[in-house]
Amino acid sequence: AQTVTQSQPEMSVQEAETVTLSCTYDTSESNYYLFWYKQPPSRQMILVIRQEAYKQQNATENRFSVNFQKAAKSFSLKISDSQLGDTAMYFCAFMNLQGGSEKLVFGKGTKLTVNP
């Protein structure tokens, strides 16, 4: 079974600084997707960024970028120029694309607080 591990329950960062959230995963498959979702206090789940395992280039979305290390099964999220609105829970998620079992599996989350 695939598992997703986020080793940092909580993190904080000063506004305008850079923070990196860690995520590791365990799978024996080679074809999969990785995601970072944001959950603000409103509870709404918002997709931040997505990485396809077969692409070596790291995904970027404005201030958000990932460091995808396939051999190490690591998928960290870097937030640059942190803003107060980035305060939220961040979840790393994994989806296997093989075997007809496309389950989206989440880690336990990292609570990020951006301080003014």
Residue 104 touching other proteins (CB under 8 A): yes
**CB of 16 vs other proteins, minimal distance in Å:** 28
State how far the Cα of 63 lies from the Cα of 27, in Å rounded to an integer: 28
Q: Beta strand 64-69 with 74-79: parallel, antiparallel or unpaired?
A: antiparallel
Q: Is 64 in the site for other proteins (CB under 8 A)?
A: no
12: contact with other proteins by CB under 8 A: no
List the one residue from 19, 23, 25, 32 that touches other proteins (CB under 8 A): 32
- Contact present, 8 and 21 (Cβ < 8 Å): yes
Q: What is residue 82's DSSP assignment?
A: -
**With contacts defined by CB under 8 A, how many residues of the chain interact with other proteins?**
23
Length, in residues, of the chain: 116
List contacts with other proteins (CB under 8 A). Answer: 4, 6, 32-33, 35, 43-45, 47, 50, 91, 95, 97, 100-109
